[in-house]
Amino acid sequence: MKKRLILGDIHGHFDTLKKIYDQENPDEVIILGDYFDNFHGSDQSIIDCFENIIKLREEHLAKGKGDFILLIGNHDFHYMCTDEHYSGKRESYAAYAHIRLEELHQAGVLKYVHIDMQNKIIYSHAGVTNSWCKEHFDTTDINIINQYINTVGYNYFVFSHKAYRDYYGDSKWHGPLWVRPYSLYGDLYKDSASGEHFSQIVGHTHMRQPEVKQFGNATVYVLDTMPDFYMTQKYNDNGEIILYELKEFKQ
């Protein structure tokens, strides 16, 4: 049996991340984004957190373990796409963040969305709706979405460039970096080829503890709960997930 570790929005909490990583000793890791910005830490502490995550990823991969996937959050994206601005954005490290995030995105280290086709799970910072897919891809065929979603331009992910969008993100037209759970639940992605909803694991909207909603055979987990809660998944040698566990981190 192997283990996948999923962590929500980081916002400078590298010490907690590292303790959880060492405690769980995972084969795979997925982090749901938002490495930058918080209202308490210094610029240097946030920069150090991000660089330490990149170093940890390199060390993990060097051991020959499974993947270590870093997803992009809205608090990262507004440094990549400099026209965007969300609360907490810091001009003091904006130039560094822009260059570093762009470099890692171009290298394929940072992704917008990760889709586990076998287990029918979408991992993203905020979630994927039917309406967003139909608007931008003119389809909800999972094979097409999976092929192109990490290669498209910034205009697919901007927060508020159309009048019908909501600044807070409570609109089904918002994308994987910005949509809120309330809108995601009402327009949950469904693959047009199979007619099935995909489960989704997201962060973005802070919760005191993980929120879990069931939609037929699909489940949505909201995991913006760092540093208090995280998720592990246990899977067999064929990649089939056998067990989901929501865990509380205790010092």
For 195-243, write each residue's pLDDT tens digit: 999 999 999 999 999 999 999 999 999 999 999 999 999 999 999 999 9
Predicted model pTM: 0.96
Angle separating helix axes 43-62 and 94-106, nearest 10 degrees = 20
Rounded to the nearest 10 degrees, how much is the dihedral formed by the CA atoms of 185, 187, 190, 192? 170
Predicted local distance difference test score (pLDDT) of residue 160 = 63
Residue 200: which residues within 8 A CB-CB, separation 6 or more?
121, 122, 123, 124, 127, 128, 184, 188, 189, 218, 220, 221
Burial class (CB in 10 A: 0-12, 13-18, 19+), 162: exposed
Instruction: Say how many CA atoms lie within 13 Å of 140 toward its Cβ.
Output: 18
Q: What percent of the chain has pLDDT over 70?
A: 97
pLDDT digits (tens, 9 = 90+) for 46-68: 999 999 999 999 999 999 989 99
Predicted local distance difference test score (pLDDT) of residue 179 = 95
Q: Does residue 164 surpass a pLDDT of 60?
A: no
Predicted local distance difference test score (pLDDT) of residue 162 = 57
